[in-house]
Amino acid sequence: MSSNILFASSNKNKFDEASKILSNFKINLEFFKSDLIEIQDDSISDIASQKVKDAFNKSQKPIIVEDDGLFIDSLNGFPGPYSSFIFKTIGNNGILELVSSNRTAKFVSVIAYSDGKNIEIFESSIKGKISDKPRGDGWGYDPIFIPENQNQTYAELTNKNQISHRYESLSKFASWFLNRQE
């Protein structure tokens, strides 16, 4: 069985990663390139819920969005839900300048699904730490995040799509989505 679903984002890298992950579950994603309304809120789930409402209103088809955040302990969880804006503003080097000797962090991913009637939320997080410098060829915060029990950043790992925060939340979504198709 193969299922098709839209993935709304303005970030092609995020779509490509999600598409590869969900193909393992025989779910085919179609890219719905869209700049979505992104509310400023302390809750990634609330941000994703609002984004998926906007995405469904624009597409009128079952759709998912993904929102994520990097939460750094020594910065009291900053940049957290503001990760995208902060990355565009100061980038990885700016984050590295802000981090103290306590480099522990976590990456959180929220997948929000809407069919126009209901919204479902799937959240996961991966603990890790911030590297001392950017390492590897990757996008976003991947060159500075080292997941727990690893020595390499997401950008250096060949199996990132099998261990990441995005993989975990997409797996939860896929399980739920495929179960309701039966």
CA distance 50 to 17: 22
Tokens of 174: 């896929």
Tell me whether strands 145-147 and 3-9 are parallel, antiparallel or unpaired: unpaired
CA distance 77 to 111: 20
Q: Which residues are catalytic?
A: 67
List, in sequence order, the alpha helices (H) in the chain: 12-23, 44-59, 83-98, 160-163, 165-181
Q: Which of 69, 71, 37 is nearest to 53 (CA)?
A: 37
For 180, the 3-state DSSP assignment is: helix
